[in-house]
Amino acid sequence: MKSVERHISDILGLVRPLPPIELDLLRAQGAVLAEDVAAPVALPPFDNSGMDGYAVVAADVAGASGAAPVRLPVAGDIAAGDTGAHAVRSGYCARIMTGAPMPAGADAVVPVEWTDGGRAEVAVHRPAAAGNAVRRAGGDVGAGDTVLRAGARLGAAELGVLASVGRRTAPVHPRPRVAVLSTGEELVEPGKPLAPGQIWESNGYMLTAAAITAGCDGHRHSFVGDEPSAVLDAIDDVLMQADIVVTTGGVSMGAYDPVKEALAGLGTVRFEQVAMQPGKPQGFGTVGEDATPIITLPGNPVSAFVSFYVLLLPALRRMQGVAPDPLPTVSARLSAPVSSPPGRRSYLRVRLEEAPGADGPTAVPASRQASHQLSALADADGLAMVPEDAETLPEGTEVAVLRLPRP
């Protein structure tokens, strides 16, 4: 059987970082920056007040106290956004608001709380040292400084930084468009009644959500039955809107495995058995004129879920222009013995628990570990890996656990 690592690298070989495009900031959310971004000017661009108060010459108020306040005439008001030229000379002050430009000559701001709040004349009852409550030009960022590096994923903070350096758009690797296509004659749209032999379609929702959580544009397409030509038509339909196609179902050994039947004939998709549990039957290759990558995952819901995170996620990351890393791992001790099929690496659904005083987290295996038992997934926050050469592991064994992302 093919190793997990080999299969991951084969899938990685199908994909490249998507060519950068320029997107409006809010459309770039979740995408990955394709170039370093520098500040065109210093930020703040000018010295300004950090508080509401009075711009003064610090030396004038050095002796101020409650018992002996310093009285200064107020020469004028300076509001944030004031573009006029203001100056303060010794013996005077100007009322100033947070964010307003410091007037020439003043070197400190006395917060309004340290004064009587006077409009024409103010009594200052505490000294303010030079530089007090003054935000210096360039105190945040110097002109030409790099504020974000290529490879940064654009979240709220990054978008704020881009806007703060005057960017309206950003050069990004676009979010990969992931078309999710489920197959199976037995599938019924959730919300509709089930006839005997039918089940509600869940893989499409699950994988589309997983793709979106992974920073992609996930699209769940309507599912198709077990007719290979219908599968080919459906793939054809989604190709125009997809950077990668992900199918589930129809890749095993059954008499009706339409994905395998439809795609094997093209000669560009390979079907193999990967040494993992769940997720053994897998296919990968390309379809269509543009050689769009296609990954065919097994239909069992837990198998599809685990395959997505173990096999597909690194490729989606590469398409986004970031390192094709696997999920982060944490080491944990099993709270119960587990078993695993020989020659395959198991990915057991576990809950990670941190007991106070323990020397690390404990991995509590879900009680239902079969590939169709989707309900246990919602309670799991990790996939504990049982090595290929182990058939059982006793309680207390230290295992590597892949941490599942949460929305």
Ligand X SMILES: Nc1nc2c(c(=O)[nH]1)N[C@H]1C(S)=C(S)[C@@H](COP(=O)(O)OP(=O)(O)OC[C@H]3O[C@@H](n4cnc5c(N)ncnc54)[C@H](O)[C@@H]3O)O[C@H]1N2
Site pattern 257..286 for ligand MOO (x: CB under 6 A) = --------------------xxxx------
Tell me which of ligand X, ligand MOO, none is bound by residue 184, counting a contact when its beta carbon lies within the kind-specific cut-off of 5 to 8 angstroms.
ligand X
Work out the number of other CB atoms within 10 angstroms of the CB of residue 25. 17
Q: Report H helices in 320-365.
A: none
| Cα angle: 123, vertex 128, 131; to 5 degrees | 135
Stretch that binds ligand MOO, among 108-116, 165-173, 297-305, 391-399 (CB under 6 A): 297-305
Q: What angle do CA 288, 292, 293 make, to 5 degrees?
A: 125
Structure tokens at 191: 């919300």
Asked if residues 49 and 109 have their Cβ atoms less than 8 Å apart, the reply is yes
Residue 217 contacts which entry, ligand MOO, ligand X, none (Cβ below 5-8 A, type-dependent): none
**Smallest gap from residue 363 Cβ to ligand X (A):** 23
Of 56-64, 197-205, 229-237, 309-317, which part binds ligand X (CB under 6 A)?
A: 197-205
Considering Cα of 362, then 364, then 369, then 372, what sign does the dihedral take? Answer: negative
Report the alpha-carbon angle 27-19-37, nearest 5: 60
Question: Contacting ligand X (CB under 6 A), which of 29, 132, 248, 362?
Answer: 248
**Whose Cβ is closer to ligand MOO: residue 279's or residue 365's?**
279
Min dist CB 184 to ligand X, Å, is 4
Q: Which residue number, 273 or 329, has a Cβ lying nearer to ligand MOO?
A: 273
Q: 282: closest CA among 307, 255, 317, 254? A: 307
303: contact with ligand MOO by CB under 6 A: yes
- The smaller minimum CB distance to ligand MOO, of residues 170 and 366, is found at 366
Residues 149/33, Cβ–Cβ less than 8 Å: yes
Q: What is the spatial distance between Cα 326 and Cα 195, in angstroms, rounded to a whole number?
A: 40
Q: Is 300 in the site for ligand X (CB under 6 A)?
A: yes
Other Cβ atoms closer than 10 A to 400: 15
Residue with tokens 């920056």: 33
- Regarding 298 and contact with ligand MOO (CB under 6 A), the answer is yes
Whole-angstrom Cα Rg for the chain: 31
The footprint of ligand MOO on this chain (CB under 6 A) covers a number of residues equal to 8
Phi, psi of 376 (to 5 degrees): -70, -20
Q: Which of the ranges 156-164, 173-181, 296-304, 341-349 carries the binding residues for ligand X, by CB under 6 A?
A: 296-304
Q: Which of 48, 300, 320, 362 binds ligand MOO (CB under 6 A)?
A: 300
Q: Please, what's the b/e burial string for 153-162 (b: 16 or more CB within 10 A of its CB; e: otherwise)?
A: bbeeebbebb
Which of 101, 127, 298, 314 contacts ligand X by CB under 6 A?
298
Rule CB under 6 A: say whether 250 interacts with ligand X. yes
Residues at the site binding ligand MOO, with contacts judged by CB under 6 A: 277-280, 298, 300, 303, 371
Residues that bind ligand X (CB under 6 A): 182, 184, 186-187, 199, 201-204, 248-254, 257, 278, 280-281, 298-301, 303, 371-372
